[in-house]
Amino acid sequence: MDADCRYGWTALHYAAVEGQFNVVELLLGAGSDVRARDKDGATAAYRAHAAGHDDVVCLMTSALDHDDDDVDDDDLLTVQTDDRHLHRSKQPPESLYAHVRKFTTELQPTG
């Protein structure tokens, strides 16, 4: 479930960037790591925020273990590379979005 593709995206990254709330909820319930970062250092929540899916961002921040002092909600919305925080979006090529749409459509819960 958390296996990376060539961009370092997890299934959670794919679902989040497309705003697939139900799929994100399903993945979080199955144990996806909300803190996982892609090769650009961005979390799925960061990608969802950059795409305008604030409901998905809220869902993912609520999944954080708030007893963990090392991670807070703001950390999910910050790109981290080599101990530097970059506040610009580094979106993968447009061709990846076609793959994302296909992937998240196939993950839609049935019933």
Q: What is the pLDDT of residues 19-59, one digit of tens each?
A: 999 999 999 999 999 999 998 899 999 999 999 999 999 99
What average pLDDT does the segment 62-79 reach? Answer: 67
Write out the two tokens for 109. Answer: 């819960």
| pLDDT at 88 exceeding the cut of 80 | no
The rounded mean pLDDT for the chain is 75
Band the pLDDT of 69: cuts 50, 70, 90. Answer: low
User: With 0-12 CB in 10 A as exposed, 13-18 as middle and 19+ as buried, what is 92?
Assistant: buried
Query: What is this structure's pTM?
Result: 0.67
- Cα 66 from Cα 35, distance rounded (Å): 13
**Containing H/E element for 85?**
strand 84-86
- Selected residue with higher pLDDT from 48 and 89: 48
Asked if residues 41 and 63 have their Cβ atoms less than 8 Å apart, the reply is: no
Q: Where are the domains of the chain?
A: 11-106
Asked if residues 78 and 87 have their Cβ atoms less than 8 Å apart, the reply is: yes
Write out the two tokens for 16. Answer: 């989040």
CATH no. for 11-106: 1.25.40.20
When mean pLDDT is compared across 5-9, 17-21, 26-30, 96-100, the lowest value belongs to 96-100
Asked if residues 51 and 43 have their Cβ atoms less than 8 Å apart, the reply is: no
Instruction: List the alpha helices (DSSP H) in 37-93.
Output: 44-50, 54-62, 73-76
What average pLDDT does the segment 67-73 reach? Answer: 56
